[in-house]
Every structure is written in structure tokens, then in C-alpha cells.
Chain A
Amino acid sequence: MATVPKPSELGKVDHRPPQRPWTETTPEFRPGTFCYGAKAKNLDVVGMPNPREWNPADEDWKLPDDWKDITLKGMEDRLNKFRSFKLFMDICVRCGACADKCHYFIGSGDPKNMPVLRAELIRSIYRKYFTGSGKIFSKYAGARALTEQIIKEWFYYYYQCTECRRCSVFCPYGIDTAEITMMGRELLNELGCGIDWIMGPVANCYMNGNHLGIQPHAFKDMIMFFVDEIEAVTGVRVEPTFNRKGAEVLFITPSGDVFADPGTYTLMGYMMLFHEIGLDYTWSTYASEGGNFGLFTSHEMMKRLNAKMYAEAKRLKVKWLLGGECGHMWRVINQYMDTMNGPADFLEVPKSPITGTVFENAKSTKMVHIAEFTADLIRHGKLNLDPSRNDNKIVTFHDSCNPSRAMGFFEEPRYVLKAVCNHFYDMPENTIREKTFCCGSGSGLNTDEFMEMRMRGGLPRANAVRYVHEKYGVNMLACICAIDRAVLPPLMNYWVPGVNVTGLHELVGNALVMKGEKKRTTDLRYEPLPGMEEEEEAEDV
């Protein structure tokens, strides 16, 4: 039986954390603060190493016998292959500019979440095995020997970084800590130590094209479900097509928009818009996922999963690609797709068939972001919009990390927002645009078992929302990322009750006056439009 402490012992609450150097503290795998380990069946599907049943909370992680060699060899390979990795290992002067910029550090108060220290977890190993000073002076040169405990520490902290890159904005050397996390995760994956919330979607994507593993007929069924929903709200029946060869545009969006609220309302917004402007587009039931959890696994996996975009564009003989509202999908498209799976010289430089605008910025990738596509339509007066339909929504905008920091995408979504709603207020300057705070659940950490940690990571974002909520009565948080749409509702529920979450194109769908529509009384969520509350009630009776 456990020893019951005496009342006098219970009363001794120690306020001060133990004074130990960071190299000697070890993480505690407490439920709520770590993600479940990758399952063997998912590793098997994509041929990843060391498939087995394991639990990060267990003492024995069932690492391969030669785990140390694998890790050091893996580091050596990557140091030789990626100049940036080598550079980032060498040039940090520990100035501390990044230290207090990480949402996980700010929210958790855990010093190992300071980007500089998180990088040091791997840098100390680099020094020990790959630098002369580290080999000789060891801990006096900031080096430490690789142990199993360090692998566990990497797992704990590299699956706490959301690769949001806010810290890199402040680094005078331009060190991209997200890339260090990526390397950390690649090394962990070589030992079979990934997380299942990433590996499950990766396996599903590889087999069926999307995160949930929805098969073509079911994917079509789900989209058609929303066709009925749109008709119920607007009286207009939109007519999407699937795998249609010869369409001008292939549209790809994260599958979260198809199956997860409130992303589904955004999906309805896309389809209403395309119908209204008569866009000649098609869906692919294989490139049925914009998201790419390969980005959170390894660069090879990212490439494998991304390949379907161009492959489907080629098969369907479309002219160019249009992409939906997603965060990390756009980091992959904007920064890696062209060199990974391009050049897409079989496609044409995207040109809006409605306005004639040529999207020079997408000259090479041939893929246009829907927010800039819509902004262009609005700029040319091609949409009939009634922003008063969103008058019950006082809106602020969360810049999703990847579109903002990986694309410099700040104005287009705001331009669209201001056209489709009358009440828009930005959050404080140091929490938006390139300095935006992460939702706290990006990079594949949006799983329910990680809820406590997600609340920590999302605190700085929620705190800024709270400010505009109290100051301007903001009740709607708009965003252009599927993960945001999934994770911001619980975040708001915990920190700022009374604020809902929407995608940009849900608001567009609400405001869009469609040709032949019936008298609209509700928004896409079947909630009464401003001024229509009584009519709705009468209808319900």
C-alpha cells in the first residue's frame, strides 16, 4: 500500500523548482502533455522503420538495438545534405532574441520551449560527435553524450514545437528553428518514434489520398451532401464535377473542409462562389487532400504525398490549380512543391477566366490561393455581395502561421473580409501578420490527447482574441487554415467563451448574392440572418 503522507508533510508545498542544469532535467510523460506513439500498422503502410506497439509513457520504447548508430548516422547524412541544418547548428550565438517569442514557452513557462534551448537539445549532440571542441571538452563546450533519455527528451519537445516559425522572424541570423524541429522529427522517425496523429493521416493519404482515408465514392457522397445543404439555404443547386477530364481548373482543399465543422461551411462557400462565377473546375477524388502531414514527418514523405497534386492535374489535363484555405498545405506548395515534384510545365500560368488577371506569383507552381483568387474577383467587381448578412458577426482575423510566414500572405484575406462583413477589427500588431501567434496545435499536434498542452500553446493567441472580444465585442474569429478551424473552437471555449470560429469563404458564402437564389433567411449554419430572426421563428413553427 502507498505511504500516506502526514498532514505536516502535505502542508510543505515547495514553491521553487529544483535547481538543476537543463541538461539534467528529464521530461515527465504525463497524460495531456504528449501525443500517442505511431502505430505499427501505419508505419508498415509507408515502410517506415521500427514498426511496433509502444507507448511514450512506458519506460521501454523498444528502440532498435543500434538506435545510437542510426541516430548519429542520420545526423551525419543530414548535416552533409542540408547546408541550412549545418549552418543552424554552428551559428547560433545564444543572444536570446528568440527565447520569449515561442507560444509554447509563453504559455507553458517551460524553459526548454525557448527556441534557443529547444535547438540546443540537438545542438549539444552535434557538438559532442561532430565538432572538435565538443569531442575534447564535452560539457564545457556545451556538448553531451547521446542517451536514450535524450531521445525521449527530443520526442517530448520536438512534438511540442508547431513549426510555426515565429521565433525565426526575430532571429538576427535567420535561424529557422522549425527546420531544426523538422530534423529532430526526421531522426525520431528513423527510430520509429513518430506520433500516430501524424502517421495515421500519412498512411491514409498514401493509400486513399486524404487524411481520413475516405474512398472516392464516399468523398463524392460527402460533397454532394453539402450540395443539398447549399440548396436548402439558397435555393440554388450547385453542380460540382469529379475527376472530369478537360476541366480548366483542378480544385484541391484540405479534407478537413469536407468532414469537420466549421470547415464544412467554408466548403459550401467555395462551391457557391464557383457556381456563381461559372468556374470550369473539377474535384479529384484522389488528390482529395490539400494537407500534407509528410511535412511533419520527413522531406521524402512530404514529396511522396505531394506528388498526387501534379499527377492528378496531368491526368485530368487541367490548365492550372486552385487551392483552398489551408495552412501548412501552402508552405508545401509555395516553398517546396516546385522543386520537389515540378516543374509543372504541362500546366499553364494561372489566369482568372473571369477577370483575366494573370497570377504571375504562381507562374512556376501554377497553383493559386483561393483568397487571392476571390480578392481579385472582388477587386474587379465581379461579385454581388451583401455584407450586411454578416452584420451579427464582429470579426477578427487570425493569420495562420504558414500563409503569413511562409507566403507573406497578409492583405488578401483582409481585403476579402472587409468586402464581405461590415465589422472587422484586427488584433494587436505584435500578434498578427508575420508576428502572428500560432493556434498551438499546428504541425500535426491537433490531437485530443494533447489538449492540455494545446491550451498552453494557444494561450498567447487566445489572449489577443480576448482583448478584441472585450474591447470591440468581437464574436467571430476568421482564419484560412483547416487545422485552425478545427482547433480554435476548443481554444476559444477554454480561454474566451463567446467567440466562434469561421473560415473566410464561409463569410463569402453568406454575403454572396447568387443569381436565382430564394429569399435567404439563414446563414450557412442555419442561423437566422440579421433581421430575419422572426421569419425564421415563424418558419420553425
Chain B
Amino acid sequence: MNLTEYLQRNQKPILQAWFQSVVETYPEETAKFLKKEKDPFANPVGSSILEGIQGIFTQILGGLPSDDVLPFLDRIVRVRAIQDFTPAQAVSFMFSLKDVVRSRMEKDGLLDRYTADLVAFDRTVDRAALMAFNIFMECREKLYQLRIDEIKNRTGRLLERANAIWESRRAEDGSREES
């Protein structure tokens, strides 16, 4: 059984442990809620994490051949980018996959057997982590852009209207200044 087959076969417990490690980055009471509540509308953070890690895991098993992993990374990072996390904490969930997989193997007594294969696996995870960091930055930049847009709209539109009123008055007055 190669590494990919092993990961596929153990997908369920690995995802469970990975989910557990992500929700544990939240305070205890919150982690309880994130795990317990199954309704995706009552618990959007928990369901984003779950959907995200499922998709990411499948993509990683395939060796990340394309950008198809991005929407899944986005599901998790977009949330963490606006929560109380440092940039490192926000994307750390990708690295915890390495620990999760290793501890599973250790439990099965198979860590030694896969040591060589894990190098490639780690590289794939690192690539996904870097992509996650790109998304994190996009989200933060978007946040600041939204703020700038809001300020501009607030004052810009007012000035635009004031100018339009001013212009129309000048036109009515026969535009003395233009002559």
C-alpha cells in the first residue's frame, strides 16, 4: 500500500483529527460549539472548516495538479483572515495536517515505512500552505480596500452631487464665467 492509498483508506479518521486540531485554535467554549452544531447556517465557521479540509485533502491526495484547491482553502482562510488570529495562526491549519498524518501513522506503527514518501507529501502540503497565505493576503487587502471604498463613496458622492448642483446652476445663470 503506497502513501496515497494509505491516506485514502484512513481519510475519515485523518479528517476528524484535522478538524479537531483546527477548531482547537479557538477558545474552548467556541470549539465545543463548532464541533457540535451541524446546521451550516447556524454554524458557518464550523461548516466552512469541514468543507474546506475535505476539499483540500482530496486535492492534496491528487498532488495539487491545478488551482482547484483554491476555493477550498478560501473557505477556511477567508474566515480566519478576519478573526482574532495572527497571519501565522490564520494559515497554521495547513501545517497541522502534517502532524495529524504522522500521529495517525505512529499509532498504526507505520511511520518508518512511509518516511521517504512523506517528504513529497510535506512538499505538497507546503505548497498548499503558501497558496493559503496568498489568499490570506488577498483577504486582508480586500478588507482595507472596502474601507477605502466606503470612505471614498461617502465623501466622493456628496461632492459629486454638490458639483452637479453647482454646474446646473451655472448653466441656468448663463455661465457668466465662461464668457
Which A residues are within 8 Å of any B CB, using their own CB?
10, 13, 15-17, 19, 32-33, 99-100, 105-111, 114, 212, 221-222, 224-225, 228, 259-261, 428, 430-431, 448-449, 451-452, 455-456, 459-460, 463-464, 467, 490, 493-495
- Complex CA–CA separation, A463 to B39 (angstroms): 12
13 residue pairs of the A-B complex, CB under 8 angstroms, read: A100-B33, A100-B37, A109-B26, A110-B27, A221-B165, A225-B164, A259-B158, A448-B150, A452-B143, A455-B143, A460-B44, A464-B41, A494-B82
The reply to whether B44 and A463 form a contact with Cβ atoms under 8 Å apart is: yes
* B134 interface contact, C-beta 8 A: no
Please name the residue on chain B nearest to A451 by beta carbon: B147
The reply to whether A428 and B41 form a contact with Cβ atoms under 8 Å apart is: yes
- Complex CA–CA separation, A428 to B47 (angstroms): 15
5 tightest A-B contacts by CB? A463-B44, A109-B30, A490-B146, A111-B29, A455-B82
The reply to whether B143 and A494 form a contact with Cβ atoms under 8 Å apart is: yes
* B84 interface contact, C-beta 8 A: yes
Selecting from B11-19, B88-96, B110-118, the interface stretch reads B88-96
- Complex CA–CA separation, A17 to B85 (angstroms): 11
The reply to whether B154 and A109 form a contact with Cβ atoms under 8 Å apart is: no
* B107 interface contact, C-beta 8 A: no
Residues 1-43 of B at the A interface (beta carbon under 8 Å): 21, 24-30, 33-34, 37, 39-43
- Complex CA–CA separation, A448 to B26 (angstroms): 26
Contacts of B92 in A (CB 8 A): 13, 15
- Shortest beta-carbon distance from A105 to chain B in Å: 8
Contacts of B37 in A (CB 8 A): 100
Contacts of B41 in A (CB 8 A): 428, 430-431, 460, 463-464, 467
- Complex CA–CA separation, A376 to B135 (angstroms): 49
Contacts of A467 in B (CB 8 A): 40-41
Contacts of B83 in A (CB 8 A): 107-109, 456
Most buried by A among B30, B78, B95, B142: B30
* B151 interface contact, C-beta 8 A: yes
Interface residues on B, range: 35 or more
* B106 interface contact, C-beta 8 A: no
A interface secondary structure, majority = helix
Q: Known contacts A33-B84, A493-B146, A494-B82; can you find 10 more A-B pairs with CB under 8 A?
A: A99-B29, A108-B83, A111-B28, A228-B168, A259-B158, A260-B154, A451-B143, A460-B42, A463-B40, A494-B142
Binary flags per residue of B130-171, CB closer than 8 Å to A gives 1, else 0: 000000000100110011011101100110010011001000
Q: Which of B26, B45, B161 contacts A222 (CB 8 A)?
A: B161
- Shortest beta-carbon distance from B48 to chain A in Å: 8
The reply to whether B82 and A456 form a contact with Cβ atoms under 8 Å apart is: yes
Contacts of B43 in A (CB 8 A): 100, 106
The reply to whether A459 and B39 form a contact with Cβ atoms under 8 Å apart is: no
The reply to whether A106 and B45 form a contact with Cβ atoms under 8 Å apart is: yes
The reply to whether A448 and B44 form a contact with Cβ atoms under 8 Å apart is: no
- Shortest beta-carbon distance from A308 to chain B in Å: 23
* B79 interface contact, C-beta 8 A: yes
Known A-B contacts A260-B154, A448-B147, A452-B82; A17 and B27 likewise in contact (beta carbons under 8 Å): yes
Contacts of A494 in B (CB 8 A): 78, 82, 139, 142-143, 146
Please name the residue on chain A nearest to B161 by beta carbon: A225
Q: Which of A15, A108, A260 contacts B157 (CB 8 A)?
A: A260
The reply to whether A459 and B79 form a contact with Cβ atoms under 8 Å apart is: yes
Residues 32-70 of B at the A interface (beta carbon under 8 Å): 33-34, 37, 39-45
- Complex CA–CA separation, A467 to B150 (angstroms): 26
Contacts of B161 in A (CB 8 A): 222, 225, 259
Contacts of B164 in A (CB 8 A): 225
Contacts of A464 in B (CB 8 A): 41
B interface secondary structure, majority = helix
- Shortest beta-carbon distance from B105 to chain A in Å: 20
Contacts of B33 in A (CB 8 A): 99-100
Contacts of B34 in A (CB 8 A): 109
- Complex CA–CA separation, A459 to B33 (angstroms): 16
Contacts of A490 in B (CB 8 A): 146, 149-150
- Complex CA–CA separation, A19 to B28 (angstroms): 8
The reply to whether A459 and B44 form a contact with Cβ atoms under 8 Å apart is: yes
- Complex CA–CA separation, A73 to B29 (angstroms): 34
- Complex CA–CA separation, A493 to B28 (angstroms): 31
Contacts of A16 in B (CB 8 A): 24-25
The reply to whether A13 and B88 form a contact with Cβ atoms under 8 Å apart is: yes
- Complex CA–CA separation, A13 to B168 (angstroms): 61
- Complex CA–CA separation, A464 to B39 (angstroms): 11
Please name the residue on chain A nearest to B93 by beta carbon: A15
The reply to whether A451 and B154 form a contact with Cβ atoms under 8 Å apart is: no
The reply to whether A451 and B79 form a contact with Cβ atoms under 8 Å apart is: no
- Complex CA–CA separation, A99 to B142 (angstroms): 30
- Complex CA–CA separation, A13 to B98 (angstroms): 14
The reply to whether A261 and B88 form a contact with Cβ atoms under 8 Å apart is: no
- Shortest beta-carbon distance from B16 to chain A in Å: 16
The reply to whether B42 and A109 form a contact with Cβ atoms under 8 Å apart is: no
- Shortest beta-carbon distance from A54 to chain B in Å: 22
Contacts of A260 in B (CB 8 A): 153-154, 157
Please name the residue on chain A nearest to B88 by beta carbon: A13
Contacts of A212 in B (CB 8 A): 158
The reply to whether B45 and A459 form a contact with Cβ atoms under 8 Å apart is: yes
Contacts of A448 in B (CB 8 A): 147, 150-151
The reply to whether A106 and B149 form a contact with Cβ atoms under 8 Å apart is: no
The reply to whether A107 and B45 form a contact with Cβ atoms under 8 Å apart is: yes
Contacts of B24 in A (CB 8 A): 15-16
The reply to whether B29 and A451 form a contact with Cβ atoms under 8 Å apart is: no
Please name the residue on chain A nearest to B29 by beta carbon: A111
Contacts of A430 in B (CB 8 A): 39, 41-42
Most buried by A among B40, B44, B92, B143: B44
Contacts of B89 in A (CB 8 A): 13, 15
- Shortest beta-carbon distance from A204 to chain B in Å: 14
Contacts of A13 in B (CB 8 A): 88-89, 92, 95
- Complex CA–CA separation, A212 to B41 (angstroms): 36
- Complex CA–CA separation, A261 to B150 (angstroms): 11
- Complex CA–CA separation, A16 to B28 (angstroms): 9
- Complex CA–CA separation, A221 to B158 (angstroms): 12
- Complex CA–CA separation, A490 to B149 (angstroms): 9
Known A-B contacts A100-B33, A110-B30; A15 and B25 likewise in contact (beta carbons under 8 Å): yes
- Complex CA–CA separation, A111 to B88 (angstroms): 22
- Complex CA–CA separation, A455 to B142 (angstroms): 11
- Shortest beta-carbon distance from A393 to chain B in Å: 21
Please name the residue on chain A nearest to B37 by beta carbon: A100
- Shortest beta-carbon distance from B153 to chain A in Å: 7
